[in-house]
Chain A
Amino acid sequence: MHGQTDVDFDIPIELIHELQQIIGSDGVLTAHSDRMVFECDGFTIEKNCPDVVVFPTSSEQIADVIKACNRHKIPFLPRGAGTSLAGGTLPVGGGVMLVLTRMKEIEEISLRDRYAVVQPGVVNIRLTQALKGTGYHYAPDPSSQGACTIGGNVATNSGGPHTLKYGVTVNHVLGVEAVSSDGEIFRLGGPNADPSGLDLAGVMVGSEGTLAVVTRVWVRLTRNPEGVRTLLGVFDSVDDATNAISAIIGAGIIPAALEMVDHDIMVALEEAFQFGFPLDAEAILIIEVDGIEAGLNAQRDQIIEICQKIGAREVRQAENEKHRQQLWKARKQAFGAIGRLASSLVTQDGVVPRTQIPQMYKTIMEIGKKYDIQIVNVFHAGDGNIHPVMLFDERDPSQTERVLKAGGEILQACLDAGGSVTGEHGIGVEKVKFMKQMFSEDDLDVMSALRSAFNPNNRLSPDKMLPTAGACGHERKAPSKMVAM
């Protein structure tokens, strides 16, 4: 144990003792100073400290912890690396947090049958690193892949730049083992992709930890492409860049990745990585095609032609693998680099039909102007997944309020365009209020019914994802602070 047990618990001391017995005392945090780290994830506007944090190392320990929580009627929730951007791991009602980062074994790799079995705390990039030299990789590559866990990816159905061609997490999950909300260990699916019965592994993906605690994952492995061409399209106007995106997809080309970065983000990236971005350009596109080497130059040339026709100033090609890796490193660490631009930032995660990116960009910038908030943009453009980043200073309450309003208006514009309020970050607590705008009362009622089948007492991850989820009486411990950090 790391410190004295503090006195601000809402939970019985007997439970603490039981947890220490189950996990061992080096895996139970009770001191407030130790638990502080877990009061929020990548969504920092709302915070609440869990009452106890445990670090289980096996499914059996998780089952025992859950049974103990149930005996004492205390809520509990899982957490991976805490990189979620929507408050998916915020312990809204306090309670016990199960941090799964000590379950980090890659248990099996089968190249012949193209799957791997991993524990939930395996960091995403570790699996691809473990596969180096085999000719295979794990396809979902969220920008946080150096830190985020595969268990967390399963919870949020994470995307990433290369999901445009290869699909998101759910397309790569074959099965899961999980612990139910009453502490039973069960398995859904496995190495074989076709389940007998319902596709419940598919249902678990993206359920944000509200149905069961995932303790093991069977993931699909993807063959490395023979060749790759990575292009950097340089544009003097954002309109031209967004029009090029629409034109490429509309021409029936599905690149492996198609990303847009606007001028202000490019400047921050250049300061951070000195990649040699053209700082006088208004926007760049990162376009990658992969596949059979024999066909790649033709695809590349077709894309270059489309970009040039629309008015690209130039289209550069990554000279070699090192150069390509540098480009992707810069793109994937964009959010870190933006920290240089302002003291506070909030990122939105809307989706529009992909051909509507040009109009959506204009709408975003108009909304920024209306609320006098600087907005910079980095898009998973090929999927229609926008990430406008609002820059502000949280010490100014008026700015914070305007940021929240502008964010709401951007998401509403996505819905109006036939899109979604989240493409890959999840609903968490951040977007619960938008669920009623996106779904009907019946839709939400049926979602709630599904949750009840898995999690009837709603003691697992209460007050997440569904606006009705709080109905079981878990009051928020403290009013949300609505202070952006």
Chain B
Amino acid sequence: MSDSIYQLPIIQTLEPSSAEELAAHVKQGFEQAMAMYPLGGQTSLHYGLAPQTEGWGISTAGVSQIVDFPVKDLTITVGTGITMGFLKQTLANEGLMLPLDVPQQESATLGGVIATNTNGPRRFGLGTVRDYVIGIEAVNGKGQLFHGGGRVVKNVAGYDFCKLLTGSMGTLGVITQATVKLKPIPESASTVVVALDDSDIADGCISMLLESPTVPIAVELLAGEAWSELTGVSRSKLILAIQLAGTEVEVAWSRERLIGDLKRKGAPGALILDGESHTRLWNSIQEFPAGARELTIQVKTVSSGTLPVIEKCLQVDPTCTIQSDAGNGIVTIGFAEVPAGGVAGIAITELGPVASNFHGHVETLGCSNPEELTMGTMWGQLSGPQWLHNRIREQFDPLGLLNPGRFVYS
């Protein structure tokens, strides 16, 4: 899968060095009715429908400074062009973290992560983008620079633009600055993995984990050959990987307790991964959704939907690779070949009904032939009325200039 597939129809890229300058560019674009594509690390260009209209790229690379880092308040305010890798290192130097587990951290920017609402395995225990962003600044499609929230962890003044812009795909505003809450890096982390051949036992283990006093922070159910090698467990239909974090005492106690509980649920032989093998597994899980392949589909349901979705996928293509946040019901499936029936066949016909049985929908994360994608295969069933989405877009970007043709508006 070559990167060129995902090139945007950009005729000129602007790299403003401040939010004000960026706003002036967008205002100029608005006056000329120019399409504009917000650019962060360009790691998620495959996420969204293929754009048709030529326009400007608006880069946030020059808006990447650390504005305020009051370490003891456990918050940081930064320009959104900052890469997740640099941010991670900056925070780690103070013993802090923003636990979002985003792929391609060396390139991916905070602005892109917020715009695409990208989350990883630790969402189970630690939450998602919307739980961390407490202040936001953006430039709407008319070139107006606006703010929501603030720099304090509790704040209900005004409408919550942090939520509105999280996952808005840059269509309501180019996000220029954000304040996020932080957490202390736990003293210790460890992984328990176990091979599972029976789906009912796997489901029983997940139920057990949801109620376990051990408080895991990630519960992953994996399928596909690649995972056996990474975890070191024997080849099996499924692998359950559980991440624990806390003080050393807590992690040690939890590990022992979990291994016993899994055995009682019919899953003996759990292994412990520490140090490098722990890190390698979670890095692979984190990077999986961004992997280069013909087709990547994500089904977003509830926890009990995880196994039915996995079963359906394995039935359609026994060779597919699956990574799922089983505690949340988020299943990501990698297909080496597009299954017979095409993207619509798998996303709408096969997986659509299973997803909706479990209150969910199907999205396409990446496809070697983006032209094949439609609103239905890309975004699945909208979680709110179309008229309301359209009206909000009209208010924020009346000419429809920001990322035109890529998101859910009609």
- Residues on A lying within 8 angstroms of B by beta carbon are 110-115, 135, 156-157, 159, 163, 167-168, 170-171, 175, 180, 184, 186-203, 205-207, 223, 226, 246, 249-250, 252-254, 291-295, 298, 351-355, 380, 383-385, 418-427, 431, 434-435, 438-440, 442-443, 445-447, 449-454, 465-466
User: Is B301 on the interface with A (CB-CB < 8 A)?
Assistant: yes
Chain B residues near A435 (CB-CB < 8 A) = 157-158
Chain B residues near A191 (CB-CB < 8 A) = 302, 359
CA of A65 to CA of B372, assembled, Å: 45
CA of A449 to CA of B302, assembled, Å: 33
Chain B residues near A353 (CB-CB < 8 A) = 70, 73, 75, 151-152
User: Is B281 on the interface with A (CB-CB < 8 A)?
Assistant: no
Nearest CB of B to A188, in Å: 4
Q: Which of B153-174 contact A (CB under 8 A)?
A: 153-161, 163-164, 166-168, 172
Can you name the residue of chain B whose Cβ is closest to the Cβ of A385? B154
8 Å CB contact of B184 from A113, A252, A423, A446: A252
Summarize B's interface: helix, strand, loop or mixed. loop
Chain B residues near A385 (CB-CB < 8 A) = 154
18 interchain pairs, CB-CB under 8 A: A195-B383, A196-B408, A197-B389, A198-B392, A199-B130, A201-B383, A203-B160, A249-B74, A254-B74, A254-B184, A291-B250, A292-B250, A351-B154, A354-B74, A420-B154, A443-B147, A447-B161, A453-B392
Can you name the residue of chain A whose Cβ is closest to the Cβ of B186? A252
Chain B residues near A187 (CB-CB < 8 A) = 383-384
A194-B117, A199-B164, A291-B215 as given contacts; A442 in contact with B144, CB under 8 Å: yes
User: Is B207 on the interface with A (CB-CB < 8 A)?
Assistant: yes
User: Is B210 on the interface with A (CB-CB < 8 A)?
Assistant: yes
Nearest CB of A to B88, in Å: 17
**Nearest 3 Cβ contacts at the A-B interface:** A202-B163, A252-B184, A195-B383
- Which of A171, A184, A196 neighbours the largest number of chain B CB atoms within 10 Å of its CB? A196
CA of A253 to CA of B72, assembled, Å: 11
Nearest CB of B to A466, in Å: 8
A157-B156, A292-B213, A452-B395 as given contacts; A196 in contact with B383, CB under 8 Å: yes
Can you name the residue of chain B whose Cβ is closest to the Cβ of A180? B388
CA of A82 to CA of B154, assembled, Å: 22
CA of A192 to CA of B357, assembled, Å: 11
Q: Which of under 10, 10 to 19, 20 to 34, or 35 or more describes the interface residues of B?
A: 35 or more
Question: Are A163 and B154 within 8 A (Cβ)?
Answer: yes
Nearest CB of A to B337, in Å: 26
Chain B residues near A254 (CB-CB < 8 A) = 74, 183-184
Chain B residues near A419 (CB-CB < 8 A) = 150-152, 155
Interface window among B5-13, B105-113, B314-322, B374-382: B374-382
8 Å CB contact of A443 from B148, B249, B388: B148
CA of A186 to CA of B387, assembled, Å: 10
Question: Are B163 and A203 within 8 A (Cβ)?
Answer: yes
Nearest CB of B to A349, in Å: 9
Can you name the residue of chain A whose Cβ is closest to the Cβ of B327? A114
A113-B303, A192-B359 known, 4 other contacts, Cβ within 8 Å: A157-B160, A187-B383, A292-B214, A447-B148
Nearest CB of B to A227, in Å: 8
Can you name the residue of chain B whose Cβ is closest to the Cβ of A199? B163
Question: Are A114 and B70 within 8 A (Cβ)?
Answer: no
Question: Are A202 and B211 within 8 A (Cβ)?
Answer: no
Question: Are A188 and B384 within 8 A (Cβ)?
Answer: yes
Q: Which of B333-368 contact A (CB under 8 A)?
A: 358-361, 363
User: Is B329 on the interface with A (CB-CB < 8 A)?
Assistant: yes
Chain A residues near B130 (CB-CB < 8 A) = 170-171, 199, 202
Question: Are B156 and A354 within 8 A (Cβ)?
Answer: no
Question: Are B384 and A200 within 8 A (Cβ)?
Answer: yes
Q: Mark B40-70, 1 if CB is under 8 A from A, else 0.
A: 0000000000000000000000000000001
Chain A residues near B168 (CB-CB < 8 A) = 198
Can you name the residue of chain A whose Cβ is closest to the Cβ of B184? A252
CA of A197 to CA of B387, assembled, Å: 12
A223-B211, A454-B388 as given contacts; A202 in contact with B330, CB under 8 Å: no
Question: Are B154 and A171 within 8 A (Cβ)?
Answer: no
Question: Are A206 and B159 within 8 A (Cβ)?
Answer: yes
Q: Mark B380-410, 1 if CB is under 8 A from A, else 0.
A: 1111110011011011100000000001100
8 Å CB contact of A112 from B303, B330, B379: B303
Question: Are A422 and B157 within 8 A (Cβ)?
Answer: yes
User: Is B296 on the interface with A (CB-CB < 8 A)?
Assistant: no
User: Is B95 on the interface with A (CB-CB < 8 A)?
Assistant: yes
8 Å CB contact of A439 from B158, B164, B389: B158
Can you name the residue of chain B whose Cβ is closest to the Cβ of A211? B159
Question: Are B384 and A189 within 8 A (Cβ)?
Answer: yes
A191-B302, A443-B147 as given contacts; A427 in contact with B157, CB under 8 Å: yes
Nearest CB of A to B399, in Å: 14
User: Is B308 on the interface with A (CB-CB < 8 A)?
Assistant: no
Question: Are B210 and A112 within 8 A (Cβ)?
Answer: yes
Chain A residues near B166 (CB-CB < 8 A) = 199, 202
8 Å CB contact of B213 from A194, A201, A205, A293: A293
